[in-house]
Structure formats: structure tokens, C-alpha cells
Amino acid sequence: NYTIKGLYIKRNRWDLSCAGLFGYNQGTIKNLTVSDIALEGESGGNIGSVAGINAGTITNCTNTSDITIHRSYAPFDINAGGIAGESLIGSISNCKNIGDITIYAQQNAYAGGIAGYVEMGTVSKCVNTGNLYASVEPSDYTGRISGAGGIAGRSNTATISDSYNVGNAVSVNLQTGKS
């Protein structure tokens, strides 16, 4: 039942590490609110307010902070989420995101209200009210993809259940002009 407030994380241009209150979670994080933090960067990788990568359990957590990634030039994917950047085999439940997630990139960019990318994990009973925006700008790299989703920006073999989104989700490929 703690609130983390005023944390500032700025990632360097070629930094591919995980960024969040916890970079990589393999344990249990519960009953936590993250408020008024600033997560900014110019690199690829996994960015979330609670965990950059979740391979454990995150439950009853809330994010009220915005996450903004500006003009990432490194040729690596960005996964940004209100709770976790990427959830591998972990679980996220009873969590809420209120913050906006915004990515301007020159590589694949995925913005999700709860997680940018949910690979094989589970997300259940989560809510997103934040707005999501992912864009891929013109670059020398072709075939780049952007994705924005209320719960997950992208998913592989994950299970997402009993969750909902009321925020706006916009994904734009500025190279092709398609959204």
C-alpha cells in the first residue's frame, strides 16, 4: 500500500535495458501506486512504470504517470506500457493505468495501456483509461510496424481476460501514411 512519487528515469540513445521502478521483475509486486514519475527515452527496449520486463506477478498496482519515448533512432523495438513494457511468462492482474503512453520511433513501436507486449503471460481484471499513441517515422528501415492497444500493444500466445479500455488508441506509420 505504498505510493512511489517523483521518480525520474531518462534512457540514453543506445540503452537497451529495461526501464521502470523495477527493471526486471521475477518476484511479486503488489498493492503499489506509481505517481508523478517521468519515464523518457530515446532508445529501444522495454519501458513500464512498475517493471520494464515482468516475468513474475504484478497485482493491484496503479500507474497515474505518462510515459513518453521521443525519436528513438536505434534499430530496436520499443515496448511501452502503463504497468510493464513486456510481460513474458508473468501475470498482471487487478491493475489500472491512467497515464498516457506516447512513442515516436524509427523502429517497431508498441504502446499498451497495461503492457506494450504480452508474450506468453496472462493479463486479467485490468483497466486502462490512458490514451495510447505509437508512431513509426520515416527512416532508412523498411517494414516497420507500430501498434497501440488499450490493454496490450501486441500479444503472442498470451491470455487476456476480464479487462477493458476506455482510452484512445492510435497507431500511425508516418512512412506510409497509414494508421
For 29-39, what is each residue's pLDDT tens digit? 999 999 988 76
142 C-beta neighbours (distance < 10 Å), count = 7
pLDDT at position 177 over 80: no
Q: What is the mean pLDDT of residues 47-59?
A: 94
SS3 of residue 144 by DSSP: coil
pTM here is 0.89
pLDDT at position 179 over 60: no
pLDDT at position 68 over 90: no
Maximum Cα–Cα distance across the chain: 47
For 126-146, what is each residue's pLDDT tens digit? 999 999 998 877 655 556 778
Q: What is the mean pLDDT of residues 58-73?
A: 85
State residue 101 phi and psi, 5-degree precision.
-115, 120
For 92-123, what is each residue's pLDDT tens digit? 999 999 999 998 877 788 999 999 999 988 99
Measured CA to CA, the distance from residue 112 to residue 132 in angstroms comes to: 7
